[in-house]
């Protein structure tokens, strides 16, 4: 279903991403899930067709677009593969690079962006720590200046693309307690003192997720992103876009699960009739599509408002919660309609069902989103 803001150019781009997903991703996704990571060659292929550079400056190898809807189209079409881990890992540059684009020096941008946007290297963002996730202002990892380097000590966890990343955007404390003492660094993946441990997860199996350890990790001083003690703003700037993207992923994956359930219901016969002719199944399908349509409309509205320059923080929090709750409902019903087939690996709905919780936790847990929305609304 096209959004009200889609133009002919948007639709042509959508068809390009859809074709790439069908030809290059769907036949391989089960193997990548088993491998536990995506091949770097996929990043290069995605870059070749313009998926990775969308929205980034052309001066550094990006693909500037007339509006910010193009990244949402990429997410929506990639969801047809039925793998949240694919989207998280392939597009981890979408959270790793924006602080560098917004705050980094021209020299740092030229050092990092071209290779990542060309798919030759992988970028990740490292904010969450073992001691807490959403409480960014109280992070424990710290950095001290030592001549021409900063020395980092601490750890980060649940880092998407953490095992493969060639560049990691890391938040560390360089000043006093609280939000005013945080800096951001572009840490090279081969920096001395950087260690990594892979995490085994319920879902997002093809996304390499890691705990990172910084033990006297030496990072060149020119890898500081922006000004010292001014990194909190760079982190906050990421959140609205990340929450919109997570909601888009929830809507797209729900549509994928619905499509699979509908196809199965039309083909599967019980007692001489297709499942789709059973009233209880038809009603389930209508309920699923109603829930998807409602959240898609909310998503499109807020995407439009963000494009107009608004920052509807409370509404984005509510959208993320509503979309992820809807995904849990739709994925559960899809597995129910598929029956035993829905419980088998290789079924898209089975994979989506396992991955629903990560979307309601990542980018700010549902409870945190409710509290933030309440504060924004003055409740």
Helix ranges restricted to H, the chain: 8-20, 29-35, 40-48, 70-78, 84-90, 93-96, 98-103, 106-117, 231-267, 279-307, 313-338, 348-361, 366-376
Q: Which two tokens stand for residue 33?
A: 């899930």
| 120/47 Cα distance (integer angstroms) | 9
Indicate if 64 belongs to the active site: no
Q: Residue with structure tokens 């309920």?
A: 287
End-to-end CA distance of the chain: 35
Helix ranges restricted to H, 268-312: 279-307
Longest dimension (CA), the chain: 79
> 3-class DSSP state for residue 153?
strand
Backbone phi, psi, residue 15, to 5°: -65, -35
Cβ(78)–Cβ(72) below 8 Å? no
For residue 23, give every residue at least 6 positions away whose Cβ sits within 8 Å of its Cβ, in sequence order, or none: none
| 119/129 Cα distance (integer angstroms) | 27
What's the DSSP call for residue 38?
Answer: -
Backbone phi, psi, residue 86, to 5°: -60, -50
20-50 CB burial, b ≥16 within 10 A, e <16: bbeebbeebbbebbeebbbeeebbebbbeeb
Annotated active-site residue in 37, 77, 129, 242:
242
> 3-class DSSP state for residue 13?
helix
Q: Residue with structure tokens 């924006």?
A: 98
Specify which residues 132 forms β-bridges with: 129
The residues annotated as belonging to the active site are 242
């Amino acid at each position: 279903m096209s959004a009200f803001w889609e133009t002919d150019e948007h639709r042509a781009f959508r068809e390009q991403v859809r074709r790439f997903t069908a030809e290059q991703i769907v036949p391989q996704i089960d193997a990548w899930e088993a491998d536990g990571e995506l091949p770097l060659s996929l990043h290069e292929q995605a870059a070749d067709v313009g998926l990775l550079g969308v929205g980034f400056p052309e001066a550094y190898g990006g693909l500037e677009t007339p509006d910010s809807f193009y990244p949402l189209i990429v997410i929506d079409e990639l969801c047809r593969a039925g793998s949240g881990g694919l989207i998280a890992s392939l597009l981890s540059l979408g959270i790793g690079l924006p602080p560098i684009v917004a705050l980094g020096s021209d020299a740092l941008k030229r050092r990092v962006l071209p290779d990542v946007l060309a798919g030759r290297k992988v970028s990740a963002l490292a904010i969450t720590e073992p001691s807490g996730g959403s409480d960014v202002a109280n992070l424990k990892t710290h950095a001290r200046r030592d001549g021409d380097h900063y020395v980092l000590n601490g750890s980060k966890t649940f880092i998407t693309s953490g095992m493969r990343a060639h560049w990691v955007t890391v938040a560390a404390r360089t000043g006093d307690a609280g939000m005013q003492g945080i800096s951001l660094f572009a840490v090279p993946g081969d920096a001395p003192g950087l260690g990594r441990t892979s995490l085994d997860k319920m879902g997002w199996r093809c996304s390499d997720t890691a705990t990172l350890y910084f033990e006297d990790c030496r990072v060149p001083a020119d890898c500081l992103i922006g000004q010292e003690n001014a990194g909190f703003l760079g982190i906050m700037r990421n959140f609205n876009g990340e929450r919109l993207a997570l909601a888009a992923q929830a809507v797209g994956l729900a549509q994928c699960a619905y499509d699979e359930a509908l196809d199965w219901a039309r083909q599967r016969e019980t007692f001489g009739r297709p499942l789709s002719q059973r009233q209880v199944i038809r009603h389930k399908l209508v309920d699923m599509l109603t829930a998807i349509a409602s959240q898609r409309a909310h998503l499109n509205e807020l995407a439009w408002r963000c494009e107009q320059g608004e920052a509807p923080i409370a509404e984005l929090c509510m959208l993320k919660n509503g979309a992820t709750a809807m995904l849990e409902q739709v994925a559960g019903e899809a597995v129910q309609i598929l029956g035993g087939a829905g419980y088998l690996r290789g079924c898209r709905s089975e994979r989506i069902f396992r991955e629903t919780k990560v979307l309601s936790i990542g980018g700010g847990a549902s409870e945190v989103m409710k509290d933030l929305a309440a504060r924004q609304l003055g409740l």
